[in-house]
Amino acid sequence: MKDKVVLITGGTSGIGKACAFAFGKAGAKVAVSGRNQQNLDQTSQELRAAGIQNVAINADVSIEADCQRMVQETVDHFGRLDVLINNAGISMRALFQDLELDVIRKVMDINFWGTVYTTKFALPHIMAAKGSIIGISSIAGYRGLPARTGYSASKFAMHGFLETLRTEMLHKGVHVLVACPGFTASNIRNTALAANGQQQSESPRDEGNMMTAEEVADQILKATIKRKRDLVMTFQGKLTVFLNKWLPGLTDKLVYNVMAKEKDSPLK
């Protein structure tokens, strides 16, 4: 990663911020994007204090023009772009029957279209560098999770998009990685959208009993260096993917039972 340039969307918290430090400490120059200027300034200052060259860019990945500007500002600042980490994401929790459709549109705009827009504008630079495009996905991209219809749909769409892009880039030297962390301690569940589109504000899961964002970032860094195609983390995540492939009927029941045990689960 020495002197490579890495652009991370949603880089001011959780996995995105942890990736900024992991890749930066490995020698990369880092661009982080986000929508909150205060968080951007704070993250940039922390990175600088750790000796990591960085630039912070205020951008909303659900807006195509913002994504184009974000990539251009990164290239203008550093002169190149080697690695794109599509990390910006939002979740939701509600039964589909109760859900306002705008919730799914918002989740798709950020999780799927944000990945598409940013990758589109970054691709020429990544191709020139023979670099990497990374999607921070979820086990929900392999196995639909009840009360997460919009989130699961966005991650399945991300998987299909990146798998197809990987095949198109097969002989062009571009590496495409889909990373699925499993449940990770972050604020994504606190900011998840409820049925009416409001943030649920409180995580329904035990955040202290999960992988840390730093552990996830370290695995993503190693997988990027090794140019792996897929990264599924945690025993629970790997087991879910395996069972869903070979015993899908059983997995329906197991997944339902696990998600029904969440605090205030709409499945109860």
**Beta pairing, strands 83-86 & 54-58:** unpaired
Catalytic residue among 117, 142, 151, 256: 151
Q: Is 142 among the residues known to form the active site?
A: no
Specify whether the CB–CB gap between 32 and 86 falls below 8 A.
no
- For every residue of 84-102, DSSP letters joined together read EEE-----B-B-GGG--HH
Nearest C-alpha neighbor of 17 from the set 213, 252, 200, 205: 213
Nearest C-alpha neighbor of 60 from the set 117, 101, 20, 17: 117
Q: Which residues pair with residue 31 across a beta bridge? A: 7, 55
Q: Which residues of 145-173 are buried (b: 16+ CB within 10 A; e: fewer)?
A: bbbbbbbbbbbbbbbebbeebbeebeeee
Q: If you search the block for the tokens 């794109």, which residue do you land on?
A: 84
Give CA separation, 43 vs 47, 57, 67, 132, in Å: 6, 11, 20, 23
Q: Which residues are catalytic?
A: 151
